[in-house]
Amino acid sequence: MSAVKVLDNVKQMPAYIPGKSGSGENALKLSSNENPFDPLPEVVSAARRALEEVNRYPQMYADDLCQALGERYDLGTDSVVVGNGSVALLNHALTAVAGAGDLVVEPWRSFEAYPIVIGTTQAKIINVPLTESGAEHDLRGMLEAIQRGGERVKAVMLCSPNNPTGPALGEGAVREFLDQVPPQVVVILDEAYIEFVTSPEAVDGLKLLADYPNLMVSRTFSKAYQLAGLRVGWIAGVDPELIGAIRKVSTPFGVNVAAAAAAREALRHEAEVSRQVTSIVDERERVLATLRGNGWKIPDAQGNFYWIGGADLVSPVTSALAAAQITARPFPEGVRITVGLPADNNRVLAALTAL
């Protein structure tokens, strides 16, 4: 041990626990909500070609990718910041607005990186438990927490669809929420799984940006776009000062050449990505129908994963899956299982039916 003192807020932060891979010949990893299809060859080739320039720094802010995203989603290039995974951008956005003595409101249980990205800002976290069903954001409770916190509240996290429980937020509910959040509070809407959403009422945050300058929407290439291994995410908003601040606090050259090239190429193959998404969504619905038919209570699943809630089920479900060499993601309140390829999902169904 050295005499160095690690900050208390860092000591108190939970460590990020990555989804495990399991071992054995038939090990099946359904613990990180990845896209199970093989990467598109054109995207891999684009990343490989980019490696020929690795002696040079990439573009400082991945400008070409920002431009491609701006065009694709009808946003100004200056409304988009690209980074080393969307988690990095959540951290940058929070760092830009919150510090020691401030408060940040988050739904809980939600994505386990939130307490870490909030914790590094030294702001205090106000957790608002999910609704009684244990699956959805309690937006009214979150508003009350914001009101109680007063001027110290600097930001609030929303996650749609919510990882790990599955439901998406409705557009009407989010608008009503945004109408009541004080305009100086940044609302960060994390839409990492939006491509898998099929509910017609669900929010599409990008469509709300023009009406709410305090809204930031984050998305990722890690899920539907298959690039988890390359780490590319983005965040969008219309407040130029906030966008400028996020760029300022971000790691210089945060998106490497291979990641930027692969992400741009992936955007050119949306038809293929969308076919994969459709097939994952079809599988999700098939698995849910079967499990619910067998009496399992599973909340609405709008991402590429589903949630078996109940502290008492965590151990038996995890063990039954482990016996079939399947690794899912256990939490104290339930188990999250990623939708895989049809044969993978059949293995899950068999394991859970045996239970």
Question: Under the rule (CB under 6 A), what is the footprint of ligand PMP?
Answer: 33, 85-87, 111, 159, 163, 190, 192, 220, 222, 228, 233
Q: How far is the CB of 249 from ligand PMP (least distance, A)?
A: 17
- Note every long-range contact of 18-26, with CB atoms under 8 Å and residues 24 or more positions apart, other chains counting: 19/327, 19/329, 20/327, 21/327, 22/322, 22/325, 22/326, 22/327, 24/325, 26/325
Q: What does each C-alpha distance from 338 to 129, 147, 173 come to in angstroms?
A: 23, 36, 27
For residue 80, the minimal CB distance to ligand PMP (Å) is: 14
Nearest to ligand PMP of 198, 346 (CB atom): 198
In angstroms, the CA 249 to CA 262 distance is: 24
What is the C-alpha to C-alpha distance for residues 325 and 348, in angstroms, rounded to an integer?
Answer: 10
Nearest residue to ligand PMP, using CB? 85
Q: How far is the CB of 38 from ligand PMP (least distance, A)?
A: 19
Q: Which is nearer to ligand PMP, 79 or 163 (CB)?
A: 163
| CB closer to ligand PMP, 190 vs 283 | 190
Q: Which is nearer to ligand PMP, 19 or 316 (CB)?
A: 19
Vertex 117 angle, CA 83 and 309, to 5°: 110
When the beta carbons of 224 and 257 are compared against ligand PMP, the nearer one is 224
Nearest distance, CB of residue 79 and ligand PMP, angstroms: 18
CA torsion through residues 172, 174, 180, 182, sign = negative
DSSP tally for the chain: helices H, then strands E: 12, 12
Q: Rounded to the nearest whole angstrom, what is the least distance from the CB of residue 82 to ligand PMP in the complex?
A: 11
**What is the number of other CB atoms lying within 10 angstroms of the CB of residue 268?**
15
